Amino acid sequence: MYVITPTVGRIVHYYPGSGDAMNFVPGKPVAAIITHVWSGSCVNLSIFDMDGRQFAAISVALVQPADPAPIPGYSYCTWMDYQIGLVQNTEELQKQVDESSGD
């Protein structure tokens, strides 16, 4: 499976934890922008709740597509389905190119 490299300015889905003081629907994501990258699995975010209010979060777990499900009740972020689809499409195209160049 693949890993999407986080970079500053990318949009992710943020899943608030049980202790987050923002307006959200449990189990549904809110929008967030990556503001700092600690590693491929840890980022700082500027988060927008469902009312458009802005919140900051530091050292948020970025769950990659192949990662196990996060612990219930804890906040985390993920890539949007659209971003995952782009990576999957790119991998498929690269595989086709690699196979055709090997003939």
Max CA distance (Å), the chain: 58
Torsion angle in degrees (nearest 10) through CA of 38, 41, 46, 50: -170
Burial class (CB within 10 angstroms; exposed 0-12, middle 13-18, buried 19+) of 25: exposed
Closest CA to 61 of 79, 78, 83: 78
Spacing of C-alpha 77 from chain mean position? 5
For residue 29, the model assigns a pLDDT of: 94
Closest CA to 64 of 77, 73, 75, 45: 77
94 pLDDT higher than 90: no
Q: Which residues on neighbouring strands pair with residue 46, listed in sequence order?
A: 33, 56
Band (pLDDT 50/70/90 cuts) for residue 96 is low
Mean pLDDT across 6-32 = 93
Mean pLDDT across 60-77 = 91
Query: Domain coordinates of the chain in residue numbers?
Result: 11-101
The percentage of the chain sitting over the pLDDT mark of 70, rounded to a whole number, equals 85
